[in-house]
Amino acid sequence: MGLLRARHGLHAAAGAVMSVLLNASLMGSALAQNFPERALRLIIPFPAGGGTDLIARVLGQGLSGEIGQPVIIDNRPGAGTIIGTDAEAKAPPDGYTLVVATFANAANPGLKAKLPYDPEKAFAPVILLARSPNVLVVRKESPVKTVADLIASAKAKPGALNYASQGIGTSAHLAGELFESLAGADITHVPYRGASQALNDLISGQVDMMFATAAAVSSFLEAGNLRALGVTTAQRSPTQKDIPTIAEAGVPGYAAESWYGIYAPAGTPRAIIDRLNSVINKVLQSQDFRKRTEPEGLVIAGGAPEALDTYFKGEMIRWKKAIADAGIKPD
């Protein structure tokens, strides 16, 4: 009798678990069918005016048109994207608050001894939007014409040259650190609070160079305000084929890239994640989105949420090693 009771209890417990899971699934599906019923908020952990801001705003406009609800842009700069990213981690897991993730999200675990959120557990991946090279640029009046010129100048006067970035831990910063390490050059890093101010100071001659995102510098290159010395990716950019890679221009093995993804808070129902993923994939494939962003050097990605998760984890491991190899101590 005791054994029968035990078996009955196990069956009852299993049935209860299945019932909870089924109810949760049905609730998630019902939520997704009605989602969204109000405005979405898209957090950008950078100031207005930079490349990430541009991409996010174009995405927001396309997304709003697809879902029939406003997409409110919320710029939350500071602390190398940590302030905006932490706001996302603490947002309700209902799909109404999203964040634009970038290279900095994968780099910060190697740069910071402690983060206010768990980078692997606090977020639910939605979609990898795009990848793009950074571009090593100097102002048009610069005497530096090539990567070889830059290396020679940096070695002749260690620490005299400097490079701007849109903040510590950003792609522009670590692209510079990787360059220093592989080229054996000593160049001073000058962090800013965003790309716009950094580029303004570069053009005015306050700083010497920048490993800027393609999205941030494309218009300046086109206008002739800046000169490109090389792209940071392993292969030449499909949209900037005349610019050599930094590896082929004199730094063998050099490779780094920017990327843009969308995350929701952990615990967001999978049905809502799938709904967002489906709609954003549609926006990415739209003629309007491609027309407005591909000239910025973007290679559109898209795909399932798992593609972003896999890519992010690989980048986090790679940059933790690169940061350690460069002798950068977590703070």
Separation of alpha carbons 309 and 307, rounded Å: 5
CATH number at residue 214: 3.40.190.10
pTM: 0.80
Asked if residue 14 is part of any domain, the answer here is: no
Q: Does 171 have pLDDT greater than 70? A: yes
Asked if residue 21 is part of any domain, the answer here is: no
Same domain for 56 and 190, yes or no, is no
Q: Does 29 have pLDDT greater than 80? A: no
Same domain for 96 and 160, yes or no, is no
Same domain for 73 and 61, yes or no, is yes
Asked if residue 125 is part of any domain, the answer here is: yes
Separation of alpha carbons 112 and 37, rounded Å: 38
Higher pLDDT, residue 11 or 252? 252
Chosen domain end from 182, 216, 231: 231
Asked if residue 279 is part of any domain, the answer here is: yes
Q: pLDDT digits over 271-317, tens only? A: 999 999 999 999 999 999 998 887 777 889 999 999 999 999 999 99
Q: Kindly list the distances between the CA atom of residue 228 and the CA atoms of 68, 107, 299, 303, in Å, as whole numbers in the listed order.
A: 41, 25, 19, 31
Same domain for 227 and 216, yes or no, is yes
What's the domain range around 175? 134-231
> Which residues, 6 or more positions from 118, have their beta carbon under 8 angstroms from its beta carbon?
none
Q: pLDDT digits over 90-147, tens only? A: 999 999 999 999 999 999 999 999 999 999 999 999 999 999 889 999 999 999 999 9
What is the β-pairing status of strands 188-191 and 97-102?
A: unpaired
CATH number at residue 79: 3.40.190.150
Instruction: Return mean pLDDT, the chain.
Output: 89
Q: Kindly list the distances between the CA atom of residue 198 and the CA atoms of 29, 49, 193, 213, in Å, as whole numbers in the listed order.
A: 46, 11, 8, 12
Same domain for 68 and 42, yes or no, is yes
- Phi and psi of 260, rounded to 5°? -140, 130
Number of domains in the chain: 2
Same domain for 149 and 288, yes or no, is no
Same domain for 105 and 151, yes or no, is no
Same domain for 227 and 138, yes or no, is yes
Chosen domain end from 184, 212, 231: 231
